[in-house]
Amino acid sequence: MSDDRRLLSDKPIPRRDRLIFALDVPGPEHALRLVDALGDSVHFYKLGLELFMAGGYFALLDDLVDRGKRVFVDLKFFDVPETVGAAVRRLRDRRATFATVHGNDAMLAAACREKGDLKLLAVTALTSLDRGDLRDLGFSVSVEELVLSRAKRALAHGCDGVISSGLEARALRASLGSRFLVVSPGIRPVENRSDDDQKRVMTVREAFLAGADYIVVGRPIRDAAEPRAAALAIQDTIAELFPDTDPA
């Protein structure tokens, strides 16, 4: 990909917040040890299903917010509309910044009615799925067509943005503009390994040049010999791409 910066996000996002670390670890104690080790190299954390099932999820969320961190609740709310709306209503005062929702129009609308100041991100297509996986699930369209369709519906119902691979971010920007958030997981600072379950991936630079506002990085930081150094290297790339953005 060329270094074409026309799609770089111009939203007033502190550049240190553009990196979201996926805190996918077995439990809260492990999570806090890693947060301590990362220090000021990471300011935004994603809390997913593994931590939710371990117990202590909301105590951890509160602890992170009390430390001045931002939190992304990635539980992918998907249920009958009334239940989805009730779940978002319970979450909206927990001081999280983002939460994920999934599902049909009625589910998305119910979630958006209850969100308050919480920003809702609609899941489009998981980065662990490729065209063959989607075909096996009964989808006859391409990944890009599915992502665009789901994004249009989500934004029409009031979602603040979408979760999308950087591979589809460029098409999202071309079709839907720049006013909504694109949060891109599946980020790999180096070439993807053959045993990696993330199939649709991009580098940090590629994702931002394609129009992502935030990136989500997990294993390349968590499994690094020096996680803090790995996070700082990503922050250096972000600072180079967004030199004029307030770092604080």
Which of the residues are catalytic? 76
Chain centroid to CA 41? 18
* CA 156 to mean position of chain CA atoms: 20
Q: State the Cα–Cα distance between residues 138 and 187, nearest whole angstrom.
A: 27
Bridge partners of residue 22, in order along the sequence: 46
Backbone angles phi, psi at 99, to 5 degrees: -145, 155
Spatial distance between the Cα atoms of 116 and 67, rounded to a whole number of angstroms: 23
- Determine the Cα angle at 120 with ends 187 and 231, to 5°: 30
Adjacent-strand bridge partners of 46: 22, 72
CB 2 within 8 A of CB 235: no
Contact 50, 27 (CB under 8 A): no
CA end-to-end distance (rounded Å), the chain: 29
Q: What b-and-e string marks burial along 71-88, b requiring 16 or more CB atoms within 10 Å of the CB?
A: bbbbbbbbeebeebbbbb
Q: Is 44 helix (H, G, I), strand (E, B) or coil?
A: strand
Rounded to whole angstroms, the Cα distance separating 121 from 236 reads: 26
